[in-house]
Amino acid sequence: MGGQKAKFTDGLWIAALGTVIGEILSYFFLPGVLVSIVVVIVWLGLIKHFFDCGWAKALLIAIVAIIIFIIIAGVLAFIGFLALRAFLPRFF
């Protein structure tokens, strides 16, 4: 397990393939809870494959990635609101 370290390109492949597979499944089947569960399993399977780890570690990697995404999105939103306030002071 974990013989080779994951590369940045592996992360790009996970994102690209997960998005394409998820969209294909959502297009051909009615979007719902079952399709969402299948898409989550596909994402975890991609993480498991590219990171060469087990299911539990893949879930942990996915949780950490979501937390990092939330933090980065919050910081960017805060910077965006500061920029809006600087350029449009009359409205804030």
Q: What is the pLDDT of residues 55-92, one digit of tens each?
A: 999 999 999 999 999 999 999 999 999 998 888 877 76
How many whole angstroms separate alpha carbon 52 and alpha carbon 2? 5
- CA 37 → CA 11, 41, 44, 74, distances in Å? 21, 6, 11, 27
- pTM as predicted: 0.77
Number of domains in the chain: 1
Its domain, for residue 60, covers: 8-91
How many whole angstroms separate alpha carbon 51 and alpha carbon 7? 9
Is there a domain that residue 1 lies in?
no
Is there a domain that residue 2 lies in?
no
Query: How would residue 27 be classed by pLDDT, with cut points 50, 70 and 90?
Result: confident
Is there a domain that residue 3 lies in?
no
